[in-house]
Every structure is written in structure tokens, then in C-alpha cells.
Amino acid sequence: MDKQFYIDEINRLKKEKTAVIMAHFYQTGDIQDIADVVGDSLALAQKAAETDADIIVLCGVHFMGETAKILSPDKKVLIPDMEAGCSLADSCPADEFEKFVKANPDHTVITYVNTTAAVKALTDIVVTSTNSKKIIDQLPADEKIIFGPDKNLGDYINSVTGRNMLLWDGACHVHEQFSVEKLIQLKKENPDAHIIAHPECKSVVLKMADFVGSTSNLLKYTSNPDVNKFIVVTESGIIHQMEKMNPDKIFIPVPPEIEGQTCHCNECVFMRKNTIEKLYLCLRDETPEILIDEEVRLKAVKPIVRMLEMS
């Protein structure tokens, strides 16, 4: 089938079924272009909580679909590929995290949204990279905090808030793998470019960055009228929106540190499992559907609602 067939059918089915398509910035350009909402993890959660649609098709990874279902249990939440997981969420199994929480009973438990519903059920407040500083700044200075699962984001928040949060040892395979050597070389070749990085990157990369932020904040930063060239240290899907918003500017992706690899394939394999064809099939057949045990959902919804209130 040609791409136009999928585009026409998705638009037809969307109206017929009163469905809303939400896409994360790391999706391919064609999926972002057909989506009703394109955003970061916080925006997708906020829109999922507000929508009147009967069906939410979440083009992102599994935890994003779960967050939408937790907030909108009466809606049918679909995801184009059930295998679209997240290495960061996988680095924090709920049974192990529960032991960590129990071993530190006097701590407030804050988790990044990149977790399973079962981990959220063990959490006091969920955060995203957009609101983490704002939320943590609202807690008393002497509050003891456990932060999981991303040690790089946790380290970064500790550095910008002056906290000493106890960190879970998890990481994202995409953001951990950016090559520092290639980043230095790109900066040498493009001294006028600003380095912009997601806080899931290692601290050595964040120290080199002119700006550190969530996907939506990186995107906003690119409209800075004084800068025309950016070295982008996050998943390359975001460059689609950056180029749309700034057609005259230059965006340079940073390659990962993989032996013998010369391509710029800094892509999240999980995010890229979704395709326009799978999006069409999932809307047509209304599967795969995200389902969550109600007992877990009732526990997991509290820290997400708390996040939305504190954002």
C-alpha cells in the first residue's frame, strides 16, 4: 500500500470512531504529521486526561499508553505496537524497586514518568523532565527523597536543586550512548552551534551543553533568534518539529558510540517500532489495547494526579 492510502484511511477512521491520535516527539515525521496532538510526556498525559474522544491512539511507548489509560480508564487506549517498550522503564522492575523503597521508609518516593504502572503504584509523586525541578522545588528542603529510575536525570536534578536524592541505578539506552568524542568533534567543526541536550544524557554531556531540557523545552529553545545552528543530543525524531518550526536553521544530530558505526542512527528502537501502517491497523482493528489491573490503576493514578496538580 502507498503511504497516501494509510493517511486517508487513518483520517477517515479517526472521524468515524471519534478517536484522537497523540504522538510523542520521537515518532517518525509521518506519524507526527497525522497526529492531533504532538508533545512531550507531560503534554501527552495532560491531553489524555482532558480528551472527549472515545479512543486514544497513543503513538509513543508502552508507559505513555499506560499513563493515558490510568488517567482515562473509560476510554479505549490503543498503541500501534505492543512491543514498544522503554529500556529505562525496564531498568526498574517493580519488585526490586519495592525492596529499595522498603529499605528507605522515611523517604518520599518520586519517579520519572518512564516507569510501569506497577512502579507508579509504589510512588508518591510522578514527574517528567519538563516539571521535575518545579515539583521538587515545592517540597521542604530537608525532605528525604528517593528518585528513580533514571540516575542521569536524578543527578541532574540534584545539581540544579541542591538536593541529595537517593538514586535508583537506571538509564536509557539511547541517551547513555551518545559519543562524547563525536560531540567534541562536531562542536569543533561548528563553533557557532549551541549544544542542546536531554537530561537523560550522561553528566559529561550535560556539562558541555548550552541548554538542557525536556523534548518540549529543547524545541522551544530552538526558536532563540540569536542562534541558527544546534547540535541536538537526544533522539533524532525531535528534529522533525525543530525543522518545521525553524526551516532556515541547521540541526545536527549526534551519533551514538557504537563500534564501527558511522550512521546517525540515534533512534529509540522502541519508539521506532510504531509505523504509519501499524497505526492504521491499530485504528482499524482497535488492537492492541492497553489494559491495566484496576487495583494497580487506583494506586498509580494518585501520584500522576499529584504531578498534574503541582505542574
Query: Rounded to an integer, what distance in angstroms lies between the CA atom of residue 110 and that of residue 127?
Result: 7
Report, in Å, the least distance between residue 90 CB and ligand 13P.
Answer: 13
> Nearest Cα to 259, choosing from 176, 179, 171?
179
- The answer to the question of residue 172 lying near ligand SF4 (CB under 6 A) is yes
Task: Kindly state whether residue 130 participates in binding ligand SF4, applying the rule CB under 6 A.
Answer: no
Taking the least distance from each CB to ligand SF4, the nearer of 70 and 89 is 89
The 3-state secondary structure of 209-264 reads: CCEECCHHHHHHHCCCCCCCEEEEECCHHHHHHHHHHCCCCEEEECCECCCCCCCC
87 is a contact residue toward ligand SF4 (CB under 6 A): yes
What are the cell numbers at 143?
Answer: 525532605
Which residue carries 490503543 as its cell? 78
Q: State how beta strands 55-59 and 250-253 pair.
A: unpaired
Query: Of all residues in the chain, what percent are helix, strand and coil, respectively (each to 5)?
Result: 45, 15, 40
CB under 8 Å to 95, separation ≥6 — which residues?
A: none
241 in contact with ligand SF4 (CB under 6 A): no
**Smaller CB separation from ligand SF4, 84 or 283:** 84
Alpha-helix runs per DSSP H in 73-179: 87-90, 94-103, 117-120, 132-137, 151-161, 173-176
Among ligand 13P, ligand SF4, none, residue 128 binds (CB under 5-8 Å by kind): ligand 13P
For residue 241, which of 263, 211, 221, 267 has the smallest C-alpha distance? 221
Contact between 231 and ligand SF4 per CB under 6 A: no
Strand partners, 55: 19, 76
- Least distance (Å) between residue 173 CB and ligand SF4: 6
Establish if 40 lies at the interface with ligand SF4 (CB under 6 A).
no
- Reported as half-sphere exposure (CB side, CA atoms, 13 A), residue 120 has a value of 31
Residue span 260-289 as binding mask against ligand SF4, x where in contact by CB under 6 A, dash where not: --------x-xx------------------
CB of 24 to ligand SF4, least distance (A): 8
DSSP secondary structure, 179-191, as one string: -HHHHHHHHHH-T
Q: Closest distance between ligand 13P and the C-beta of residue 178, in Å?
A: 12
Instruction: Give 251 or 280: the residue with its C-beta nearer to ligand 13P.
Output: 251
Q: Choose which of 22, 174, 193, 212 interacts with ligand SF4 (CB under 6 A).
A: 174
Q: Which residues bind ligand 13P (CB under 6 A)?
A: 40-41, 114, 128-130, 172, 198, 200, 214-215
57 binds ligand SF4 (CB under 6 A): no
40 binds, among ligand SF4, ligand 13P, none (CB under 5 to 8 A by kind): ligand 13P
Between residues 14 and 202, which has the closer beta carbon with respect to ligand SF4?
Answer: 202
86 binds ligand SF4 (CB under 6 A): yes
* 239 binding ligand SF4? (CB under 6 A): no
The option from ligand 13P, ligand SF4, none interacting with 215 (CB < 5 to 8 A, set by class) reads: ligand 13P
Residues of this chain that interact with ligand SF4 (CB under 6 A) are 61, 86-88, 114, 172-175, 200, 235, 268, 270-271
